[in-house]
Amino acid sequence: MSKIHDAVGDLRRLPGVKGVAVVTSDGLVAATSLEEGLSADVVAGLSSYLMMTTNKSLAEGGLGGCARLSLHATHGKAILVDLTDSYLVVMFDQFADPMSAHKEIDEAAQRIRRASRLS
């Protein structure tokens, strides 16, 4: 298993995590570990669209790029992290506390960035 898949798998084992994905900026799936019922293609497409439109809006406002995006919805939560040429997406159930996983998410993002540079 690659280092990227290892990082994804480690995050997936955290309490309350429903799925983890690494997706490219154009919406392709690089690596996933998703709960049954979650579509990798849908996660990739929506995540890349959200980050693209967020970055565009921030740039138009002169605020720079988005490094991390947190979403809170009725039936779940998500953290999206910019990895430069891709995004790390971590999805949680509605009862989870994503703040408690920030350290692990940051560490996984660093591992994925390092592994991407070595590939």
What tokens appear for 44 in the block? Answer: 């990739």
Q: Specify the residue for token string 């919805």.
A: 73
Taking the C-alpha atoms of residue 107 and residue 63, their distance in angstroms, rounded to an integer, is 26
Query: Collapsing DSSP states into helix, strand and coil, what is residue 70?
Result: strand
Domains of the chain: residue spans and CATH:
3-118 (3.30.450.30)
What tokens appear for 16 in the block? Answer: 């309350």
Query: Collapsing DSSP states into helix, strand and coil, what is residue 1?
Result: coil
> Distance of CA 70 to CAs 1, 99, 114, 115, Å?
29, 10, 23, 24
- The predicted model scores a pTM of 0.93
Higher pLDDT, residue 99 or 119? 99
Q: Note the pLDDT tens digit of each residue in 4-16.
A: 999 999 999 999 9
Q: Is the pLDDT of residue 1 over 70?
A: no
Query: Collapsing DSSP states into helix, strand and coil, what is residue 65?
Result: coil
Residues 88-98 have a mean pLDDT of 96
The DSSP letter of residue 88 is: E
Tell me which residue of 18, 6, 2, 35 sits closest to 79, measured CA to CA: 18
Taking the C-alpha atoms of residue 100 and residue 53, their distance in angstroms, rounded to an integer, is 27
